[in-house]
């Protein structure tokens, strides 16, 4: 069984919600990525989304754009991201890792080579932002066959028909984009998210993650009330950018922010009266 599915089952048994941090591979420097991944696990990450930097990240806001630029300036590439995953797997065989990026680097590597490379490196899921279900069969099929979950986005505007179609191709979990905009955008509306997630659940049993616009522990907790997983990206990546010159402090502060989110999430399952 795929590590992602196993992880969600374990969380469900204990009544907890998944915390999914995102960082961009190679940002701010390639040698800091694997230690950062381990630090995220220690701070309470259940699954990690590892961004594959791309020169033209059209669905990302300025924070992740700049992270991509920093990483690319250091020579980061899809090939080297797979090396980092292999490196991480030497000491962590449990934490699911999901690559998140854009299609062109995968096109250039070739689908077969990428699927084999991802499987062998220990990648558990692949979220290709600019690959909607209409164009995805050629990649999603082989990924699934290799035991790597193709992960898809859902948007506030996705119709019931699209949700069904996406849910058929998707494995692992579905990533609901909680607002109209790019990564790192302004605040989201929790009530709207709750309504939409309820609608999505009528079409699929896959766990539902929510991301885009979750910046702080209170928002994370509010989303965790209604979702199975909370994805936090830009808030962490912004901190990494700020503290790029001080790796020790960077790791500490990013981990502290994630820990705070973890604690906020874990309070969710307790009755409100007890957390007062």
Of the pair 180, 249, the CB lying nearest other proteins is at 180
Dump the DSSP string for 217-230: HHHHHHHHTT-SEE
DSSP, res 180: S
Q: Which stretch binds other proteins (CB under 8 A): 16-24, 127-135, 242-250, 266-274?
A: 127-135
Contact yes or no for 28/244 (Cβ under 8 A): yes
Give SS3 for 207.
coil
Cβ-Cβ contacts under 8 Å for 32 (sequence gap 6 or more): 247, 250, 251
Of the candidate residues 15, 31, 42, 58, the single one contacting other proteins (CB under 8 A):
58
Annotation says 112 is catalytic: no
Report CA torsion sign: 6, 7, 8, 9. positive
Chain residues 66-85 in contact with other proteins, contact rule CB under 8 A: 69, 72, 77-79
Closest approach of Cβ 155 to other proteins, in Å? 4
Closest approach of Cβ 153 to other proteins, in Å? 4
Of the pair 43, 177, the CB lying nearest other proteins is at 177
Annotation says 134 is catalytic: no
CA distance 116 to 251: 31
Closest approach of Cβ 137 to other proteins, in Å? 12
Contact yes or no for 132/140 (Cβ under 8 A): no
Residue 103 contacts other proteins per CB under 8 A: yes
**Contacts to other proteins by CB under 8 A:** 54-59, 61-62, 65, 69, 72, 77-79, 102-109, 129-132, 134-135, 152-155, 157-159, 162, 166, 177, 180-182, 185
Active site residues: 49, 60
């Amino acid at each position: 069984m795929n590590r992602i599915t196993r992880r969600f089952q374990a969380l469900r048994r204990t009544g907890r919600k998944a915390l999914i941090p995102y960082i961009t591979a190679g940002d701010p420097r390639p040698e800091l990525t694997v230690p950062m991944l381990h630090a995220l696990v220690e701070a309470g990450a259940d699954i990690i989304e590892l961004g594959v930097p791309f020169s033209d990240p059209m669905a990302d806001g300025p924070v992740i754009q700049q992270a991509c630029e920093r990483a690319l300036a250091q020579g980061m590439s899809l090939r080297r991201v797979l090396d980092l995953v292999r490196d991480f797997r030497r000491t962590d065989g449990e934490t699911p890792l999901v690559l998140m990026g854009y299609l062109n680097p995968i096109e250039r590597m070739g689908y077969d080579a990428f699927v084999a490379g991802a499987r062998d490196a220990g990648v558990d899921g692949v979220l290709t932002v600019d690959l909607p279900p209409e164009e995805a069969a050629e990649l999603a099929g082989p990924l699934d066959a290799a035991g790597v979950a193709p992960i898809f986005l859902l948007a506030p505007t996705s119709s019931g028909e699209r949700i069904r179609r996406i849910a058929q191709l998707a494995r692992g979990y579905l990533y609901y984009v909680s607002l109209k905009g790019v990564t790192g955008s302004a605040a989201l509306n929790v009530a709207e998210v709750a309504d939409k997630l309820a609608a999505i659940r009528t079409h699929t049993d896959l766990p539902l993650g929510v991301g885009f616009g979750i910046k702080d522990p209170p928002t994370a907790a509010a989303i965790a009330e209604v979702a199975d997983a909370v994805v936090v990206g830009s808030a962490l990546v912004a901190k990494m950018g700020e503290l790029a010159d001080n790796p020790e402090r960077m790791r500490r502060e990013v981990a502290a922010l994630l820990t705070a989110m973890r604690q906020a999430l874990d309070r969710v399952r307790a009755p409100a009266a007890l957390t007062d």
